[in-house]
Structure 1
Amino acid sequence: MKINKVAKAGTLESNDILIMIMPNENSGIELELESIVMKQFGNQIKSVILNKIDELGLEDVVIKAQDKGALDYTIRARVQTAVERAVE
């Protein structure tokens, strides 16, 4: 699946995550993550995002995520919503 445009989902409220997804001019998947819980859960958050991207069959995409303590199911939902908005 190819991303056609820049799209966002989520907020910067507590216990949420803001996901911005855009086409990657280079090849591959790039992930930029900022999180208030990076030391404790940074690897888990990255894993959840990348697994969802893989599940959706995306390639050549840049994901920027600003996390404020979101749980895994919220992260997955925000990624899926951003992707659906980007491929419309």
Structure 2
Amino acid sequence: MIINKIAKAGTLESNDILIMVMPNENGGIELELESIVIKQFGNQIKKTILDKVQELGVEDIVIKVQDKGALDCTIRARVQTAIERAI
């Protein structure tokens, strides 16, 4: 899949996550993460996001994330929704 435009999904409410995706003109996958629980769960959040991106077959994407304590199922759903809005 190719990302054609900027899109986002989610909110900044407690226990949610805001995902913004955009095309990466430099190629590859870039991930920027801000989270209130980054010290405890930062690696797991990144892995969940990257696994979903790879599952969807997306390349050349920039992903900007603001997490407010979302569960993995919410993270996966928000990533998928943002990507589908961007293609």
TM-score by length of 2: 0.99
Q: Distance in 2 between matches of 1:60 and 1:85?
A: 16
Deviations 1:57-84 (A, max 9, x none): 0000000000000000000000000001
Give unmatched runs, 5+ long, in structure 1: none
User: 1:13-24 counterparts in 2 under 5 A?
Assistant: 13-24=13-24
- 3-state SS of the aligned residue for 2:84? helix
Could you say what secondary structure the match of 1:76 adopts?
A: helix
How many angstroms does 1:24 deviate by? 0.2
Root mean square deviation of aligned Cα: 0.3
Q: Does 2:12 match 1:12? A: yes
Pairwise mapping of residues 24-35 of structure 1 onto structure 2 (< 5 A)? 24-35=24-35
Letter in 2 for 1:44: Q
1:3-82 aligned within 5 A: 3-82=3-82
Q: Provide the residue aligned with 1:84 in structure 2.
A: 84
Distance 2:6 2:82 in 1: 9
- Tell me the distance in 1 between the aligned counterparts of 2:79 and 2:27: 20
Number of positions where the alignment pairs a residue of Structure 1 with one of Structure 2: 87
- One-letter code of the match for 2:58? L
| Separation of aligned partners in 2, 1:7 and 1:24 | 13
Distance of 1:42 and 1:3 partners within structure 2: 25
**Deviation for aligned residue 1:38:** 0.2
CA distance in 2, matches of 1:6, 1:71: 24
